[in-house]
A and B are shown apart, each in its own frame.
Chain A
Amino acid sequence: EVLLVQSGAEVKKPGSSVKISCKVSGTSFSDYYIHWVQQAPGKRLEWMGLVDPEDGNTLYAEKFQGRLSFSADTSTDTAYMELSSLRSEDTAIYYCVAVGTNYAWFDPWGQGTLVTVSS
């Protein structure tokens, strides 16, 4: 069974950065793309982008371009998402999702990480 375990909740000041981890187990890390999804209060799920752990290639949603950085450490089977220049609107739950290289729907999901941006 593929399992994704994310790091814990964070409280950040406006203008700072946050880095969330997503550890993958139960499978070969390189067989999946790791996607990230934002769920802000009262808003729809929003795809943020993806990282290919095999080669480190990334794809970012236009909305987050310039503030977002994904990485993957194949030695620990862990993916990371870093969001900078935080503002109150970034308060949300962030999910990582494993998507196999031969399909495109989202399964499985991490448990989510709550990021609160507040002064």
Chain B
Amino acid sequence: EIVMTQSPATLSVSPGERATLSCRASQSVSSNFAWYQQKPGQAPRLLIYGASTRATGVPARFTGSGSGTEFTLTISSLQSEDFAVYYCQQYHNLWTFGQGTKVEIK
């Protein structure tokens, strides 16, 4: 099983600041990688697939990068609606998720 490890567990950021979230895979997943956003009481929402392609309707302030085992999600200027939990996922070999990073208001 490919294990996905996210860091940090919690990120405290002020509105308007940049947030950088990381995810590491236990073995290479190439670019078979996605990011999801989950708000309380809601299902996860696809943000990024193919490591760097924004899903339909996702604002340009969300940028995904990386390949192989190291991936990053950058939110360039945090808006109030961006405070949520973010999960990474690999779909290279079956499907596994990271444990999540909570982005909270500083």
Query: Which A residues contact B (CB, under 8 angstroms)?
Result: 35, 44-47, 61, 95, 103-112
Contacts and interface: CB of A to CB of B under 8 A. Distances in A.
B35 to A, nearest CB: 10
B55 A104 contact: no
A105 B96 contact: no
Contacts, number: 45
A47 B97 contact: yes
A105 B35 CA distance: 9
Interface string B58-89: 00000000000000000000000000000101
A111 B43 contact: yes
Interface size class of B (residues with CB under 8 A): 20 to 34
A95 B99 CA distance: 17
A44 B98 contact: yes
B39 to A, nearest CB: 12
Nearest to B91: A104
Given A47-B95, A47-B96, A106 B32 contact: no
Contacts of A44: 87, 97-100
B46 A106 contact: yes
Contact of A105 (B34, B94, B98): B34
Contacts of B98: 44
Given A35-B95, A45-B87, A47-B94, A106 B100 contact: no
B100 A112 contact: no
B43 A109 contact: yes
Contacts of A111: 43
Contacts of B94: 47, 61
B86 to A, nearest CB: 12
A104 B89 CA distance: 11
B1 to A, nearest CB: 8
Nearest to B4: A44
B85 to A, nearest CB: 10
Contacts of B55: 107
5 contacts: A35-B95, A44-B99, A44-B100, A45-B87, A106-B34
